[in-house]
Amino acid sequence: MKSITINGSQRESVGKKASKALRNAGQVPCVLYGGDKPVHFAAAELAFSKLVYTPNAHTVVINLEGGETFNAVLQDIQFHPVTDRILHVDFYQLFDDKEIALDIPVNLVGNSRGVKNGGILRRNNRKLRVKALPANLPDFIEIDITPLKIGDKVAVSELANDKYTFLHTDNTVVCQIKTSRTAVATDDDDEEEGAEAPAAEAQE
């Protein structure tokens, strides 16, 4: 899994007044959990752009002044209700021998037969939660939807992998091809090559 580095400095004062002063200076108060004790630090707000404003999943390398380095994942983030500025970030420390749960994005590839025949692609889950050792966390979960016909669906049970475990029931539907008024009545194997209809994706 790809990693993003965040440079910060450890902070001693953790009260509301100190946190407000940090935000006024363009810094974000952060806490790293999962180790022997919580680590309080602050980092520049701009440092979080590639971590927060992206659909991708990343691990994080936290570099603190003084040479301390931690591997972590984003656990929680708080935004200002009006301005959407980042108010506070929680991280969870990673250890090579301890499994971690993380939401992983789902990537759909291919052109579904059902969509070509007028069906509608519905993405029921754009992310799936998995549990794995840090080294086995995938960047994304890829599903080839090319063979899916109208009425077909892909469930979690079909995505089993030796490197990680899905934290969903086996019958959780990830995506499916729904019928529509414009759908062709029969879904023949001999459909013309290149006669692609635009894919219509249902709103969640």
- CATH classification of the domain holding 10: 2.40.240.10
User: Quick one: 115 and 168 in the same domain?
Assistant: yes
Looking at 60, 94, 128, which one is the last position of a domain? 94
| 79 backbone φψ class: left, alpha, beta (φ>0; ψ -120 to 50) | beta
Residues 58 and 3 sit within 8 Å (Cβ to Cβ)? yes
Summarize pLDDT for 124-155 with one digit per residue, the tens.
999 999 999 999 999 999 999 999 999 999 99
- Position with higher pLDDT, 185 vs 87: 87
Domain total for the chain?
A: 2
- Position with higher pLDDT, 18 vs 138: 138
User: Quick one: 65 and 121 in the same domain?
Assistant: no
User: Quick one: 78 and 12 in the same domain?
Assistant: yes
pLDDT at 99 (0 to 100): 95
- Indicate the pLDDT class of residue 57, thresholds 50, 70 and 90: confident
pLDDT at 183 (0 to 100): 61
* pTM to 2 decimal places: 0.78
pLDDT surpasses 90 at 185: no
User: Quick one: 39 and 83 in the same domain?
Assistant: yes
Give the structural domain span for 49. Answer: 3-94
Greatest CA span in the chain, whole angstroms?
70
- Indicate the pLDDT class of residue 2, thresholds 50, 70 and 90: confident
How high does pLDDT run on average in the chain?
87
- Indicate the pLDDT class of residue 50, thresholds 50, 70 and 90: confident
Q: Phi first, then psi: what are they for 114, rounded to 5°?
A: -65, -40
Mean pLDDT for 175-192 is 66
- CATH classification of the domain holding 193: 2.170.120.20
